């Protein structure tokens, strides 16, 4: 604690903006709240619980739908990743709504998903062109008639890590222009991102997001980086940027359950209790707050994140005013407006309680000029699958064996165009960067695009990904 406090104090003395916090969406609401309070006290404005793979927190200020409302809607519009891979329970609920109820799914997707067979309409788009496709599709008469049948819910998330988030937001703007009363069900990554954003682990005072923080770090402007259960070397798509950032940062402090690639050389690592090793509350994607119950004793000296935050605060001369989880919870529900509804402990223990929400934001139509794809290139789609090389998966003896190797997928006709057979190793390149991996045919991939599952084994695909690029076009070539 003293070492970490000394590092933070020294960095803040030199420059108040030279300390940043990444992560906090994998713990409890109370964990995130304690760290947000400590950041407030230290005036650390550069913080983000998302890691460059989500959407602006402003989407939580739009009119929100619950999961029940989504599954009861007449029309469910998908502007989201493959729910079967990323949120399988929600996938089952929406599939059931389409199969057994009266909901109709309108899917906008860059490649087929688990819900494509159940969609009333599935409309393909090339990455970067979804806003135009959405606008033209919703102008059709049959679409207008369907939308007028009843409630409309938009399931919204980041479907492609190889394109700018602005394209998803522009597509959302087109839907809301056509259906102003539509509600949103956000499907962002990491279990408690909604709770972390609500309590304040999000950029403050117009400071930058995670990518801005890493960009500043790469330029030598961040002296101390605090990682709250975050592993940027695995979580952030642009590995070149992360490596440059970590090479320039003078000090890294990590709070984590595991030793990861990002914290193995950290100056200080605090062992944190895992989700089944502590009590508290968590917030799901619809804003429902439910309890987390400790089932096992933490290993060694591991402690809940909130406890580490409060004791680190004392070492820095800051008293957060809490000495127990109950005191912390009471302070959270009395000071954070979204949690005002959480004073009924019994309700939280049973079905959970929905956050207080007031729609205060709007998303307008927008446009982004996109350079046409060279006819010889393939526009890249990068998304997650259910089982990848996540830290909790690779450290589980029962799960590690089901992670597949990195493979790129193209349409069968494009495979013939490349001139190779299924399973052949090919060269995939962007500018001067090349990787070699197998290619396979997939009828659910659209012509002229290529799909790369994110964070699989054997070959690291992230050197191809430039987080600053609007879209990424790759060369796919035979190895001769």
Nearest Cα neighbor of 382 from 455, 322, 323 is 455
Cα–Cα distance for residue pair 232/311, rounded to 1 Å:
25
Give the tens place of pLDDT for each residue, 273-302. 998 999 999 999 999 999 999 999 998 999
- Tallying the residues shown for the chain, one arrives at 480
Which residues of the chain form CATH 2.40.40.20? 378-477
Cα–Cα distance for residue pair 45/39, rounded to 1 Å:
7
Give the tens place of pLDDT for each residue, 204-232. 998 999 999 999 999 999 999 999 999 99
**What's the average model confidence in pLDDT over 399-423?**
95
What DSSP element (H or E) covers 224? strand 224-228
Beta bridge partners of 450: 380
Which residues of the chain form CATH 3.40.50.740? 2-50+191-339
Predicted confidence (pLDDT) at residue 246 exceeds the cutoff of 90: yes
Query: Which pLDDT does position 15 carry in this prediction?
Result: 85
* CATH class of the domain at 2-50+191-339: alpha beta
Query: Which pLDDT does position 290 carry in this prediction?
Result: 95
Predicted confidence (pLDDT) at residue 368 exceeds the cutoff of 90: no
Contacts (Cβ under 8 Å, ≥6 apart) of 142: none
This prediction has a pTM of: 0.94
Which residues of the chain form CATH 3.40.228.10? 57-186
Predicted confidence (pLDDT) at residue 365 exceeds the cutoff of 90: no
Query: Which pLDDT does position 221 carry in this prediction?
Result: 95
Give the tens place of pLDDT for each residue, 114-163. 999 999 999 999 999 999 999 999 999 999 999 999 999 999 999 999 99
**What's the average model confidence in pLDDT over 326-336?**
96
- The DSSP output letter for 371 is P
378-477 CATH fold: Barwin-like endoglucanases (2.40.40)
Cα Rg of the chain, angstroms: 23
Domain made up of 57-186: CATH architecture: 3-Layer(aba) Sandwich (3.40)
88-125 burial, b if ≥16 CB within 10 A, otherwise e? eebbeebbebbeeeebbbbbbbbbbbbbbebbeebbbb
| Percent with pLDDT over 70 in the chain | 100
Is residue 468 very low, low, confident or very high in pLDDT (cuts 50, 70, 90)? confident
**What's the average model confidence in pLDDT over 293-321?**
95
Query: Which pLDDT does position 339 carry in this prediction?
Result: 94
Cα–Cα distance for residue pair 84/385, rounded to 1 Å:
9
Beta bridge partners of 453: 383
Q: Please check whether residue 139 is in contact with residue 175, taking contact to mean a CB–CB distance below 8 angstroms.
A: no
Backbone angles phi, psi at 287, to 5 degrees: 90, 20
Query: Which pLDDT does position 346 carry in this prediction?
Result: 87
- Going from the C-alpha of 166 to that of each of 158, 172, 259, 447, the distances in angstroms are 10, 10, 34, 23
| Percent with pLDDT over 90 in the chain | 87
Helix axes 305-315, 325-335, angle to 10 degrees: 90
Give the tens place of pLDDT for each residue, 22-66. 999 999 999 999 999 999 999 999 999 999 999 999 999 999 999
Cα–Cα distance for residue pair 62/172, rounded to 1 Å:
11
Q: What is the mean pLDDT of the chain?
A: 94
Q: Which residue has the higher pLDDT, 365 or 394?
A: 394
Question: Reading across the β-sheet that carries 183-186, which strands appear in turn?
Answer: 121-124, 104-109, 75-79, 152-156, 183-186
Predicted confidence (pLDDT) at residue 369 exceeds the cutoff of 80: no
What DSSP element (H or E) covers 453? strand 449-453
Is residue 357 very low, low, confident or very high in pLDDT (cuts 50, 70, 90)? confident
Cα–Cα distance for residue pair 403/388, rounded to 1 Å:
5
Of 135-149, 234-248, 341-355, 366-380, the least confident: 366-380
Is residue 371 very low, low, confident or very high in pLDDT (cuts 50, 70, 90)? confident
Backbone angles phi, psi at 290, to 5 degrees: -135, 170
């Amino acid at each position: 604690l003293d070492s970490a406090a000394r590092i933070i104090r020294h960095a803040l003395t030199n420059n108040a903006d030279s300390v940043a916090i990444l992560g906090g969406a994998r713990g409890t609401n109370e964990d995130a709240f304690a760290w947000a309070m400590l950041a407030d006290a230290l005036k650390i404005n550069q913080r983000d619980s998302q890691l460059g793979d989500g959407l602006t927190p402003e989407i939580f200020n739009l009119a929100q739908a619950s999961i029940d409302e989504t599954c009861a809607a007449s029309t469910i519009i998908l502007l989201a990743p493959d729910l079967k891979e990323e949120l399988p329970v929600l996938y089952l609920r929406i599939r059931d709504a389409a199969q057994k109820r009266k909901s109709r799914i309108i899917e906008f997707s860059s490649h087929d998903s688990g819900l494509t067979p159940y969609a009333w309409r599935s409309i393909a788009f090339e990455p970067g062109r979804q806003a135009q496709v959405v606008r033209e599709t919703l102008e059709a008469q049959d679409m207008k008639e369907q939308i007028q049948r009843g409630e409309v819910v938009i399931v919204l998330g980041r479907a492609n890590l190889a394109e700018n988030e602005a394209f998803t937001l522009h597509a959302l703007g087109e839907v809301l222009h056509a259906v102003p009363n539509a509600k949103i069900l956000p499907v962002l990554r990491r279990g408690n991102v909604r709770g972390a954003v609500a309590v304040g682990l999000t950029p403050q005072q117009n400071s930058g997001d995670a990518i801005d923080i890493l960009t500043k770090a790469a330029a030598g402007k961040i002296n101390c980086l605090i990682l709250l259960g975050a592993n940027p070397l695995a979580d952030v798509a642009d590995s070149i940027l992360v490596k440059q950032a970590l090479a320039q940062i003078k000090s890294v402090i990590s709070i984590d359950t595991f030793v990861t690639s990002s914290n193995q050389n950290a100056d200080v690592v605090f062992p944190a209790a895992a989700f089944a090793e502590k009590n508290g509350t968590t917030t799901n994607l619809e804003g429902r707050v439910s309890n987390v119950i400790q089932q096992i004793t933490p290993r060694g000296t591991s402690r809940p994140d909130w406890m580490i935050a409060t004791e680190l605060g004392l070492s820095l001369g800051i008293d957060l005013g809490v000495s127990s989880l109950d005191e912390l919870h009471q302070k959270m529900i009395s000071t954070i407006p979204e949690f005002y509804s959480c004073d009924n402990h019994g309700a939280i223990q049973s079905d959970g309680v929905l956050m207080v929400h007031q729609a205060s934001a709007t998303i307008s139509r927008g446009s982004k000029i996109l350079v046409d794809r060279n006819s010889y290139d393939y526009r890249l789609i990068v998304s997650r699958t259910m089982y990848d090389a996540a830290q909790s998966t690779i450290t589980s003896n029962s799960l590690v064996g089901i992670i597949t190797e990195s493979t790129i997928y193209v349409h069968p006709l494009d495979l013939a165009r490349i001139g190779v057979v299924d399973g052949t190793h090919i060269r995939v390149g962007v500018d001067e960067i090349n990787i070699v991996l197998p290619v396979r045919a997939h009828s659910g991939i659209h012509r002229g695009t290529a799909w790369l599952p994110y964070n699989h084994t054997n070959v690291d695909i992230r050197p191809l990904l430039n987080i600053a690029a609007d879209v990424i076009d790759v060369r796919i070539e035979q190895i001769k």
